[in-house]
């Protein structure tokens, strides 16, 4: 009996160590968001009505639905808000009504400062590159205070390079990116050089040839819309690492067009280099199989299917390796995808795909240079599905377009991606 009581006690103790996460969330947000309180109250009221309905109807199904719903609700009964420092973003967000992008940001956030979620540069780069992490704390949210944030702000300022190299790497876990920063950075990943000028003009509102902090924030705010307070940096008034990097700790710096372009260029290269290094596993080249895997990250295909396509063309161990320059060339195409689509559509008016010569000519038109043979061969191995010498440009463009939107959806196992792939497969079979 006593052993039973002890084990019951241990269980309760263990549980109590996990519960405060939930309570922290709601007590913390409690002071910030009246809307969330109303949502919570309303959902509790709805839950009670569901119980009564279940009892009245004797409906097992209704009760089941209630139980399922209730299990998603954060536990409000245990509180330990003063000592709780770490919790899970999912618990924090709960059933809040968030847009797809808001939810992705919230679920990948790293820090909570004054009731607002922020992402570390490390979390951001892992999100946009879809590189899994072995760090068990990668999806934890840590509460940080003003002293910590100010320390990071100084670090960001002192690590700032004139050519903007290593913006993310230099601060990694020691920096904060807000929800509008995430939106800005994700959008810059898809911009090609000839779009920089348009982007610059959007931010330079008074057209004086440079972007000031106030202009940058004004555009960021206009993109926010009705963002929940949990994601709204205006409520903390803190300068994020991006703002400190671009405009200095005093906010008096400005960005000329050249500086703006240099920043975007350096940022794109940093993300690309991180991706390459992960797949190269510390080597100077990526194996052919891994390169195919990297290209097809945003496709519907399993690795088994990718391999079967590859080995129709290559014998075992005969797939060439790919270096950074080749990967950069492939990524150039990502930035010029719409131009490529236009050129390819001219070649494909007769309904056929594009052959190697036509495809490489299109690449040269859009990116200024042709692909080398190895790059061309591996792409045709994967995307020449019928093996008739023509590339299935529709599947190719789909994969590249999804890739271009990286950071705004979550990987291959994402439900939405699955249904998109499923719908496109069904369409193809009709």
Enumerate binding residues for Ca ion (CB under 5 A): 204, 206, 208
d(CA 321, CA 399): 21
Nearest residue (CB) to Ca ion, 211 versus 391 = 211
Nearest residue (CB) to Ca ion, 216 versus 330 = 216
Nearest residue (CB) to Ca ion, 181 versus 204 = 204
Residue 246 neighbours by CB distance under 10 Å = 24
Least spacing, CB of residue 219 vs Ca ion, in Å: 11
Least spacing, CB of residue 211 vs Ca ion, in Å: 6
Nearest residue (CB) to Ca ion, 107 versus 204 = 204
Least spacing, CB of residue 233 vs Ca ion, in Å: 21
Nearest residue (CB) to Ca ion, 204 versus 384 = 204
Nearest residue (CB) to Ca ion, 208 versus 308 = 208
Least spacing, CB of residue 214 vs Ca ion, in Å: 9
Nearest residue (CB) to Ca ion, 113 versus 196 = 196
Nearest residue (CB) to Ca ion, 206 versus 369 = 206
Least spacing, CB of residue 196 vs Ca ion, in Å: 16
- Minimal CA–CA distance to 331: which of 88, 123, 97, 129? 129
Least spacing, CB of residue 153 vs Ca ion, in Å: 23
- 8 Å CB contact between 332 and 367: yes
d(CA 239, CA 372): 45
Kindly tell me the burial class for residue 22, based on how many C-beta atoms sit within 10 Å of its own C-beta (0-12, 13-18, 19 or more). buried
Least spacing, CB of residue 216 vs Ca ion, in Å: 9
- 8 Å CB contact between 335 and 190: yes
Least spacing, CB of residue 250 vs Ca ion, in Å: 17
Nearest residue (CB) to Ca ion, 203 versus 380 = 203
The Cβ-side half-sphere exposure at 412, using a 13 Å CA radius, reads 16
Least spacing, CB of residue 212 vs Ca ion, in Å: 5
Nearest residue (CB) to Ca ion, 24 versus 263 = 263
Contacts of 5 by beta carbon, 8 Å cutoff, 6+ apart: none
Could you tell me which residues are beta bridge partners of residue 354?
391
Least spacing, CB of residue 263 vs Ca ion, in Å: 16
Could you tell me which residues are beta bridge partners of residue 118?
111
Nearest residue (CB) to Ca ion, 12 versus 207 = 207
Least spacing, CB of residue 273 vs Ca ion, in Å: 31
């Amino acid at each position: 009996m006593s052993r039973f009581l002890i084990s019951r006690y241990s269980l309760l103790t263990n549980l109590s160590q996990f519960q405060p996460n939930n309570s922290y969330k709601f007590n913390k947000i409690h002071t910030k968001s009246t809307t969330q309180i109303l949502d919570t109250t309303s959902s509790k009221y709805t839950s009670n009505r569901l119980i009564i309905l279940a009892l009245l109807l004797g409906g097992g199904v209704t009760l089941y639905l209630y139980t399922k719903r209730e299990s998603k609700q954060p536990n409000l009964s245990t509180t330990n808000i003063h000592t709780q420092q770490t919790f899970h973003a999912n618990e924090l967000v709960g059933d809040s009504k968030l847009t797809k992008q808001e939810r992705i940001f919230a679920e990948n956030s790293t820090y909570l400062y004054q009731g607002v979620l922020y992402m570390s540069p490390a979390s951001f780069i892992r999100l946009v590159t879809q590189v899994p992490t072995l760090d068990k704390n990668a999806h934890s949210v840590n509460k940080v205070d003003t002293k910590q944030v100010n320390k990071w702000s100084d670090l960001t300022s002192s690590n700032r390079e004139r050519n903007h190299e290593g913006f993310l790497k230099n601060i990694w876990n020691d920096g904060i990116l807000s929800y509008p920063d995430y939106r800005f950075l994700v959008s810059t990943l898809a911009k090609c050089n000839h779009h920089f000028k348009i982007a610059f003009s959007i931010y330079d509102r008074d057209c004086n040839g440079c972007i000031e902090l106030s202009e940058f924030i004004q555009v960021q705010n206009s993109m926010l819309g009705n963002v929940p307070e949990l994601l709204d940096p205006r409520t903390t008034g803190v300068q994020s690492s991006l703002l400190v990097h671009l405009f200095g700790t005093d906010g008096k710096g400005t960005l000329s067009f050249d500086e703006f372009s240099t920043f975007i260029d350096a940022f794109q290269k940093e993300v690309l280099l991180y991706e390459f290094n992960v797949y190269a596993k510390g080597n100077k080249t990526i194996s052919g199989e891994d390169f195919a895997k990297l290209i097809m990250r945003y496709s519907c295909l399993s690795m088994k299917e990718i391999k079967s396509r590859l080995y129709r063309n290559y014998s075992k161990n005969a797939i060439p390796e790919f270096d950074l320059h080749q990967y950069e060339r492939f990524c150039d195409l990502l930035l010029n995808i719409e131009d490529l689509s236009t050129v390819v559509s001219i070649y494909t008016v007769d309904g056929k795909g594009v052959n190697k010569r036509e495809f490489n000519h299109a690449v040269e038109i859009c990116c200024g240079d042709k692909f080398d043979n190895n790059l061309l061969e591996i792409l045709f191995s994967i995307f020449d599905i019928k093996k008739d010498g023509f590339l299935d440009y529709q599947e190719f463009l789909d994969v590249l377009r999804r890739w271009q939107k990286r950071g705004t959806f979550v990987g291959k196992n994402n439900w939405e991606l699955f249904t998109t792939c499923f719908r496109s497969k069904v369409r193809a079979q009709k």
